[in-house]
């Protein structure tokens, strides 16, 4: 039976309160206020229990030696259902769980859904994610799975030959939905950021001159991809981004699972093999 949503909870039906009008306004307001508070409390209990059920199911799956992991769909060469072996990071994650003695089922999801479903316990873990302060509130982060260096993509017509922090002042940029990288990097520069689900949308906006710049992995912006309308320029900003696997802090075995994952990840990297 699915967990109820707020719309399915009726305070009067749940607590047996007479739904007929009260004898006077004061009595009605007293009952109405009581039922609203009671309904809110009931909803919190129900939602908490639903999250508990999700993690209980995850524990049960882990006990049988099989874990469910969410990979981000269509993330460059690192993760995606259409990539060989699911991408280079996917192969590493799978090998690490197998080294832990577990079978792993990987589902590829949009970023937002992968984040939410891992947070509430439907999946044990998700990857690849960049670490930031907002995400650290919800998740534990593994040691680095892989890293990527990048540059700044601007329209070919731009006069910029080098990109500094000052170059971003009052400019329009593009970034992935859910990413806090640029908002943390440019605190005082008044950058306007458009959020998208795929970086190819950022390139399209560059070519249409709707934005001034965006950060891109070097592997994703070849001359053929950039075409004649966009170019990549160097920068003194630190654009080396590290990718991680995340596990919800709400998971009852989060600390142990992450410690075991990091131990096997280190061993695999030391041996230089991902099977």
* Tens of pLDDT, residues 183-212: 777 877 889 999 998 888 999 999 999 999
**Which residues fall within 8 angstroms of residue 205, CB to CB, at 6 or more apart?**
174, 194, 211, 214
Which residues sit opposite 176 in a β-bridge?
A: 196
Picking from 97, 107, 33, the residue whose alpha carbon sits closest to that of residue 68 is: 107
- Bigger pLDDT: 205 or 3? 205
Q: Please tell me what DSSP assigns to residue 209.
A: T
**What phi and psi, each to the nearest 5 degrees, are found at residue 242?**
-100, 135
Residue 80 has pLDDT above 60, yes or no: yes
Whole-number pLDDT of residue 11: 34
Model confidence at 228, pLDDT cuts 50, 70, 90, reads very high
- Of 73-82, 121-130, 186-195, the range with the highest mean pLDDT is 121-130
**Beta-strand pair 103-109/125-130:** unpaired
pLDDT on residue 58: 53
User: Higher confidence at residue 33 or residue 112?
Assistant: 112
Higher pLDDT, residue 200 or 16:
200
Contact 252, 187 (CB under 8 A): no
Mean predicted confidence (pLDDT) in 46-67: 56
Of residues 120 and 177, more confidence is placed in: 120
């Amino acid at each position: 039976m699915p967990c109820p949503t707020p719309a399915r909870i009726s305070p009067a039906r749940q607590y047996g309160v007479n739904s007929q009008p009260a004898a006077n306004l004061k009595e009605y307001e007293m009952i109405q206020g009581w039922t609203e508070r009671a309904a809110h409390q009931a909803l919190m209990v129900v939602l908490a229990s639903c999250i508990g059920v999700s993690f209980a199911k995850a524990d049960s799956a882990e006990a049988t030696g099989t874990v469910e992991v969410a990979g981000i769909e269509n993330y460059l060469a690192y993760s995606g259902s259409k990539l060989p072996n699911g991408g280079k990071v996917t192969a590493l994650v799978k090998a690490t769980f197998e080294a832990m003695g577990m079978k792993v089922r990987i589902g590829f999801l949009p970023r937002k859904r992968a984040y939410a479903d891992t947070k509430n316990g439907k999946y044990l873990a998700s990857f690849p994610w960049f670490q930031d302060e907002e995400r650290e509130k919800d998740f534990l982060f593994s040691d680095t799975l892989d890293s990527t260096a990048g540059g700044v993509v601007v329209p070919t017509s731009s006069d910029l030959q080098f990109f500094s922090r000052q170059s971003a002042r009052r400019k329009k940029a593009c970034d992935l939905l859910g990413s806090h990288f640029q908002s943390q990097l440019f605190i005082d520069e008044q950058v306007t950021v458009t959020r998208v689900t795929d970086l190819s949308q950022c390139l399209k906006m560059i070519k249409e001159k709707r934005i001034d710049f965006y950060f891109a992995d070097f592997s994703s912006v070849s001359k053929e991809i950039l075409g004649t309308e966009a170019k990549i320029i160097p920068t003194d900003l630190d654009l080396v981004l590290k990718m991680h696997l995340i596990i919800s802090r709400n998971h009852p075995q989060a600390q142990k699972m992450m410690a075991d994952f990091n131990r096997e990840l280190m061993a695999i990297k030391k041996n230089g093999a991902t099977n």
